[in-house]
Structure 1
């Protein structure tokens, strides 16, 4: 558990990096992805946060390394609200999409959950006094999103899996991916919280990471 800035923490790595944002309001804590291990999420309490204060979880895409712990969260926290883009909603809410969820890759089963809201294109979720700008960035999957939060004068970009990979089973699209990366570059984010490569700051390092991976997939 590591505090990144002000109200943003890196919970740890469990299949993917899991992040949490404290809205400092009655709306409690917002997870960015859930990873694969519910016990990892429970570990937020070592930093003084309360597990039962998790009231929202924004899923950046449908892959099981980002969503497997959701079913456990739903059982332990019955009021939790899950959000994902509509183009990735079916694999999250329905069984039988093992290729789309990458469950085949891990050799495990995915337990579906119900979404509170399916996001269309770009959507801003106002939770407490904080705005979570959910940007549609297709490429890795059709419904991949990035989440942007501004806190302590810094623009934080939760850009999970900006590195890929790309696979026909995921319905990946490299042309969409390149356009999505071009779009993220225009944000000029101060901090990047990536899904598997960690945390990048300041702004120049964020740009370098995105540009390097974009160029790699131009070849």
Structure 2
């Protein structure tokens, strides 16, 4: 059974997780979190009797800072560890300067506080994947599944009864919360996401593991709710833009709608959700998507 590590992002429990798989080749981590949460990752490993040096494989669902920001720091500490990443993210992982510069335009002087340093991963330590590969980590068989929609470099990993779905499985912070799509720029592609959901629905697994946050039954209800919320969120942004609202006004409409829905499911959820995926980022991603659609012949 995978062990979850709560990375306590910005001091808030239950927003970003890393998952630990025990194999006969040592430990495998699914997503690392940002470099700012490395102390929590180390403490989480120690809490169940492991050490950072026991990690031999790092499986990245995608290269966004909240999922892969610590990968370079870990590869420097663990020169024998393999970092598994999709081919469309590998170059940015090897040379993260452009990724960090893009993030700095959004977060400004909050970069260090939120994310810490993203160090490069040496190419020699990478295992570059396309999706649809099956490989072994000692006694554990893992299948990488290409699952774009949230990001063009997104992978899910299937290992026996467990399915690690990164962000394409949505954000679900409690059992009672309906899963919701994180839609930051620049790669949101709703038809591709729907196809990824179709693929993941068909995987014979028992448990979904979400980076944001926790483990839930692999059932059709999860995916049904995610698709409904995706259609709703996309519709709110499209309607606001069609009505002539600018992005700031659209964000106010979207945030109000989202917070009301979340508060009905749990009074603490709007604040926690904002750490996992700020509403303004979801609006920017969906606005970019709709503008691209409008520009097509």
TM-score normalised over the length of structure 2: 0.63
Partner of 2:69: 68
Where does 1:182-201 land on structure 2 (aligned, <5 Å)? Answer: 182-201=198-217
Looking at structure 2, the residues matched to 199 and 160 of structure 1 have their Cα atoms a distance apart, in angstroms, of: 11
Computing the radius of gyration from Cα coordinates, the structure with the larger value is 2
Segments of 5+ residues of structure 2 without an aligned counterpart are 10-15, 112-116, 171-180, 233-297
Answer yes or no: is the 8 Å Cα contact 2:61–2:154 preserved in 1: yes
1:11 paired to 2:8:
no
Answer yes or no: is the 8 Å Cα contact 1:14–1:65 preserved in 2: no
Partner of 1:165: 182
Q: State the shift of 1:122 in Å.
A: 1.3
Q: State the shift of 1:104 in Å.
A: 4.7
Looking at structure 1, the residues matched to 3 and 42 of structure 2 have their Cα atoms a distance apart, in angstroms, of: 13
Looking at structure 1, the residues matched to 18 and 104 of structure 2 have their Cα atoms a distance apart, in angstroms, of: 18
TM-score normalised over the length of structure 1: 0.84
Q: Count the aligned residue pairs.
A: 202
Segments of 5+ residues of structure 1 without an aligned counterpart are none
**Which structure carries more helix by proportion?**
2
Partner of 2:42: 42
Deviations 1:82-133 (A, max 9, x none): 0101122222222212477x56545425322235211013111211011111
Partner of 1:80: 81
Where does 1:124-163 land on structure 2 (aligned, <5 Å)? Answer: 124-150=134-160, 155-161=161-167, 162-163=169-170
1:217 paired to 2:234:
no
**Which structure carries more strand by proportion?**
1
Answer yes or no: is the 8 Å Cα contact 1:64–1:103 preserved in 2: no
1:114 paired to 2:122:
yes
Looking at structure 1, the residues matched to 6 and 62 of structure 2 have their Cα atoms a distance apart, in angstroms, of: 18
